[in-house]
Amino acid sequence: MSTVVVPPIIPPTVPPTNPPVEKLEKLEDIQGDIWSKGFPKDNETYYLFQIKHPADFARCLRKLVTDQPHLIPNLNMVKVNWAEIKAEKKRADAHKEQPKRLPMANALIAFTYKGLEIIRGGLQNPDDLLLEDIEKTDPAFSHGMKSAPLNDPTAGLDPLFADPTAIHGLLKVAGSSKEKVNERLKEIQVALQCDKGVINDVPGGTEGRIDGAVREGDNRGKEHFGFQDGISQPLMNGLDDPPPAPDSGALATSTMETEPKFLIVMEGTRSQGSNDIPRPDWMHQGSFLVFRKLEQNVEAFNDLTEKNFKRYECRNAEHMGAKLMGRWRSGAPITLPAYHTADDPTGDHCKSKKMNNFGYEKVDDNSTARGCPLAAHIRKTNPRRTDEEDTNASDPGLKFTRIIRGGIPYGPDHTKGEKPGVMKRGLLFACYQGSIEDGFQHMQSSWCNTDTFPMGGSGLDPIVGQGKSPDDMKMLITEGKEQVQINPPLVTFRGGEYFFVPSIKSLKGVLTAAAPLH
């Protein structure tokens, strides 16, 4: 009798599915820069202002957002800008031409806590702002950046940040040229009666402004150390295209799809440590903006990598730089097996969103010549996954610490042989999040500035970490070797502040319901 061999039943492989991500709604209420794409920009200015006459300011602002909505656009309007740029690229491709730069400008308005206190003074019903609640729900915002546990230096700051109580509001104006930015800023200043003293520039000798510009030619999209920036951003359902499939050979994938509530204040959202008090309704569809002027020392970066790469078993200075960052200059992540041993790959695919669809191997990925150090800038700021072996696998921030970055370089390009320390350059860093404690502050303070994250001895983030003393500024780059000492620092804080970006609805409503004229 023959026996029938029943083949074992192999369950079909079901691709892992992420839980459904909530859809972002009311785009018409959200200010237009709060998006992975942000405002289209070649130039940008950060204009810091003081409110001198709160009731007049409220009236002017209400008129501006009601009668000239394009001056402070919402997300739907900025989506149209991006669609126009895409159409122009398509047209130019078809004609084998360079796409034209379409003239455009956009602006966002945001306030410090001090600014909200001043605004309250001009309202018909000041209690509507519920500022005392915000002190409890968002203490980092209400106390300001200067009080935050960030190890920020207090000397050498840009004079605009000398007195944080002097900063009430910010206009972030971006556009296709410096002229377009200047024009749009002027238009808004006139509407807010800057010329009649309703608002004033924050003192500091630069008309309240800090200007940035995208670098030109082959450096477009790169920051001053020469790395492609703007590859990894959280994506929101209802706003962004779904992420592309991962490249073959990718490790555990991390699609970066993010619950909107981590980036935007929504009904029912709470920040950690808020004692479960809800935010006032008027804050819904708003977001917190962190601004930091960060000076980069390109000379120090080049010196560090050129003088030390051999000692740390890197193939060349480029390779050591890639280990500090976690990506090659082209943007290719060094953790992907294809890029462990090859030198910096080039090509447009390096800039593509596919280059963001990856996770990290186990903690031993920190090892020797291959892999990505645990303290590399992009791994510290987004660990993507942690293993049970990580001492900090239970850090709740792994779930909610997400930021949308929207920075721009400032200052001239570095030239070889220039006199060290004379020309100043860096990044005007800006990021949006649904809570400062849970977003930027957790990232900077508990991750970048902490040797024990994700494991004891990982070291500090070599790009933006700040220790209590200069000796703390070191990271493990190669297993079995001492940590690399980073001195002088590669990046130095020159000032910054925490802001809140209200919804368009609140700009037309609660925030501008001015007391009647006498």
- Residues that bind ligand N7H in the complex, under the rule CB under 6 A: 223, 225, 227, 229-232, 292, 294, 296, 325, 327, 377-378, 381-382, 403, 405, 426-427, 429, 440, 443-444, 448, 463-464, 491
Are the C-beta atoms of residues 156 and 294 closer than 8 Å to each other?
no
SS3 104: coil
Can you spell out the DSSP letters for 413-443?
Answer: PP-TTPPTTTS--EEEEEEEES-TTTTHHII
Contact of 123 with 514, CB cutoff 8 Å: yes
Residue 192 or 235 with smaller CB distance to ligand N7H: 235
Residue 263 beta carbon to ligand N7H: minimum distance, rounded to whole angstroms: 12
Nearer to ligand N7H by C-beta: 279 or 377? 377
Q: How far is the CB of 442 from ligand N7H (least distance, A)?
A: 9
Task: Using the minimum distance from each CB to ligand N7H, give the nearer residue, 72 or 463.
Answer: 463
Least distance to ligand N7H from the beta carbon of 384, Å? 7
- Contact indicator for 89, 99 with CB cutoff of 8 Å: yes
CB 59 within 8 A of CB 123: no
Between 213 and 491, whose beta carbon lies closer to ligand N7H? 491
Q: Give the distance from CA 212 to its chain's centroid.
A: 15
Min dist CB 464 to ligand N7H, Å, is: 4
Residue pair 104/40 in contact (Cβ under 8 Å)? The answer is yes
Min dist CB 229 to ligand N7H, Å, is 5
Show Cβ contacts of residue 372 under 8 Å, excluding neighbours closer than 6 positions: 323, 326, 333, 334, 335, 360, 365, 366, 379
- CB of 3 vs ligand N7H, minimal distance in Å: 56
CB of 190 to ligand N7H, least distance (A): 34
Would you say 382 or 450 has its CB closer to ligand N7H?
382
Quick one: CA dihedral 308, 311, 312, 317, positive or negative?
positive
Q: Looking at beta carbons only, is 31 or 382 nearer to ligand N7H?
A: 382
The alpha carbon of 441 is separated from its chain's Cα centroid by a whole number of angstroms, namely 12
- Can you point out the beta strands (E) in 244-373? 287-296
Nearer to ligand N7H, 73 or 226 (CB): 226
| Smallest gap from residue 116 Cβ to ligand N7H (A) | 24
CB of 219 to ligand N7H, least distance (A): 12
Residue 107: φ, ψ to 5°: -145, 155
Q: Which is nearer to ligand N7H, 53 or 329 (CB)?
A: 329
Query: Are 320 and 305 within 8 A, CB to CB?
Result: yes
**Residue placing its CB nearer to ligand N7H in the complex, 269 or 296:** 296
Euclidean distance between CA atoms 499 and 483, whole angstroms? 36
* Overall size of the chain counted in residues: 518
Residue 246 near residue 12, CB atoms below 8 Å: no
| 13 versus 18: smaller Cβ distance to ligand N7H | 18
Q: Are 174 and 95 contacting, i.e. CB atoms less than 8 angstroms apart?
A: no
- DSSP secondary structure code for residue 270 in this structure: -
Residues forming beta bridges with residue 46, ordered by sequence position = 172, 210
Residue 322 near residue 329, CB atoms below 8 Å: yes
- Least distance in angstroms from the C-beta of 101 to ligand N7H: 23
Report the alpha-carbon distance of residue 383 to residue 365 in Å, rounded: 12
* Nearest-approach distance from CB 169 to ligand N7H, in angstroms: 22
Least distance in Å: CB of 122 to ligand N7H?
A: 34
Of 274 and 444, which has the nearer Cβ to ligand N7H? 444
Give the three-class secondary structure for 254. coil
Q: Which strand (E) or helix (H) includes residue 404?
A: strand 404-405
Q: Which is nearer to ligand N7H, 72 or 443 (CB)?
A: 443
Question: Residues 4, 45: contact at Cβ < 8 Å?
Answer: no
